[in-house]
Chain A
Amino acid sequence: MNHLLADPWLRFILVVAIKSGVLIFIVITSFAYLMLFERKILAWFQLRLGPIWCGPWGLLQPAADAVKLVLKEDLTPRDADPLIYRFAPAIAVLTSVLAYAAIPFGTFPDGSPVAIANLNVGILYILAAGSLGVYGIALGGWSSQSKWPLLGAIRSTAQMISYELAMGLSIIGVLLLAGTTNLSGITAAQSAHHVWYILPQFVGFLIYFITATAETNRAPFDLPEAETELVAGFHTEYSSLRFGTFFVAEYINMITVSCVATLLFLGGGDGPFLATLPLLSVAWFVLKVMVFLFVLIWMRATLPRLRYDRLMAFGWKVLLPVAVLNLLVTAAIVALVKA
């Protein structure tokens, strides 16, 4: 064991593997309790109690749900493409977990970020992982070889490509202000400027938040799985653990976009009392992420689903031009200030 640890490459791989394992455990656990959190909050919005029977305050409900899903029969439609049908949920959850390699959750006392990797192109990496996320849905819907999943998958693909564009443009405004694509660099720039970018980039923030909701297929943009018209959308044919895997991917994506919004617009782990206790930054970060998650659930409880043509028109005719305008104005101001 000692001579193994002496090799720098093996040690590096081992450290990354352990960090990833811990992080994946944390992410999956937070997914489970995010689902309980959502069910409780939705219940209160509708004057219900929500889950109360499994454990105190329903705290064991996620475990009960998991056991139920695992015990169900795993069905594969006769005409399904067997290979892709089996792999699609795995692709969905893999691409959703990928993003966490680059997210800094706070800063250590020595100033280094709490993250697996401190990438120079961190925000681009997260966008890349997100852009691959559509394949889980598209391939899952196509491989089921049945009409509702196919319609759901096609809708979702069209929606995700359309909204990805405005999302990318809304992020560039922040990159111009921070002057870096490194995520911990962006949060450091916000601390250095003494302003969270939600103030100077409020339009960018609104566009990011709307497009992020659409990217994660959350209400009011949950057209790909509109129950009233498409049964359950792209995962209609899926059952048991494979269905659960799609669920995991969707909720992990929700946490990811909340993390990115916190990093780009709310200063990441920035907050009071950091001078005395630097690791408090992780707590501030988690608190801000939870605010975003609450807003996402709040929107689901309050807003009705958009009609599909309205959704596309809104993306292309409102969000995209406003994002371009925001980018141009930001670029002009940054250039003027530098000159």
Chain B
Amino acid sequence: MVVLFWVCAIVLVGTAIAVVGSRQPVHSVVGLIVNFSALAVLFLTLSAEFLAMMQIIIYAGAILVLFLFVIALLTVGNQPIETGEGRLAHQTVPAIAAGVAALGLIAFGVRTAWSQSAASPPADLGTVPAFGTALLTTHVFAFEATAFVLLVAIIGVVLMAGRKEIRF
């Protein structure tokens, strides 16, 4: 398990750097696919089997396909798009500052959670019944609120993208 963790960790960090660093948008997407798959393996080592499968089906399998779809449609050529005049200037310092701040926040959160976590999780942790029960009873408010936010987003997209076709 420890070996698996370190392999996944190295793959995760490596592909994350590849996502940010590569000049070709499609290479970034490929890096992100590998990254999400490694994350799913990491979930599996934490016995979160349902979450791991959802990570692959939804994120690696559906959302990134859409990323690839849009990027392939927009940038058919091999040339990277951000080298021209339109490239944003003075991004390095704010990016590093934001990255360090986010890392600090995550480290603080993990430390807090670590000190509060139980010694051994329940045996059925992460199985489909346990996950579903928690989602639709304990956390049902957050679940429904997220669904509502997504619905608003969908309506917004339809309104903005379909505006040309609506004539009154």
| Partner among A119, A138, A181 whose Cβ is within 8 Å of the Cβ of B68 | A138
Sample (15) of A-B pairs whose CB atoms are under 8 Å apart: A81-B24, A120-B49, A124-B50, A128-B53, A128-B60, A134-B61, A134-B65, A138-B68, A142-B72, A145-B78, A150-B76, A157-B68, A157-B72, A164-B61, A164-B62
Q: Which residue of B lies closest to A131 (CB)?
A: B61
Which residues of B are at the interface with A, using a C-beta cutoff of 8 A? 24, 26-27, 30, 33, 37, 40, 49-50, 53-54, 56-57, 60-62, 65-66, 68-69, 72-73, 76-78, 127-128
A241 CA to B77 CA in the complex, in Å? 26
A248 CA to B17 CA in the complex, in Å? 33
Q: Which residue of A lies closest to B68 (CB)?
A: A138
A120 CA to B24 CA in the complex, in Å? 39
Interface size on A, residues (CB 8 A): 32
List A148-185 residues whose CB lies under 8 Å from chain B: 150, 153-154, 157-158, 160-161, 164, 168, 181
| Partner among A81, A132, A168 whose Cβ is within 8 Å of the Cβ of B60 | A132
Say yes or no for A84: interface residue by CB 8 A criterion: yes
Q: Which residue of A lies closest to B58 (CB)?
A: A131
- Can you list, as one digit per residue, whether each of A127-141 has a CB less than 8 Å from chain B (1) or not (0)? 110111011001101
Using known A-B contacts A81-B78, A139-B26, A153-B72, determine if residue A121 contacts B62 with beta carbons closer than 8 Å: no
In the assembled complex, which residues on chain B have CB atoms less than 8 Å from the CB atom of A143? 26
CB distance from B45 to the nearest CB of A (A): 14
A325 CA to B56 CA in the complex, in Å? 26
CB distance from A4 to the nearest CB of B (A): 16
Contact call A125/B60, Cβ cutoff below 8 A: no
| Partner among B40, B54, B78 whose Cβ is within 8 Å of the Cβ of A79 | B78
Contact call B61/A128, Cβ cutoff below 8 A: yes
CB distance from A144 to the nearest CB of B (A): 11
CB distance from A327 to the nearest CB of B (A): 15
List A210-224 residues whose CB lies under 8 Å from chain B: none
Contact call A84/B69, Cβ cutoff below 8 A: no
Contact call A181/B128, Cβ cutoff below 8 A: yes
In the assembled complex, which residues on chain B have CB atoms less than 8 Å from the CB atom of A164? 61-62
- Can you list, as one digit per residue, whether each of A168-207 has a CB less than 8 Å from chain B (1) or not (0)? 1000000000000100000000000000000000000000
Contact call B127/A139, Cβ cutoff below 8 A: no
| Partner among A79, A131, A142 whose Cβ is within 8 Å of the Cβ of B26 | A142
Q: Which residue of B lies closest to A83 (CB)?
A: B27
Using known A-B contacts A121-B128, A135-B33, A154-B73, determine if residue A81 contacts B62 with beta carbons closer than 8 Å: no
Contact call B53/A125, Cβ cutoff below 8 A: yes
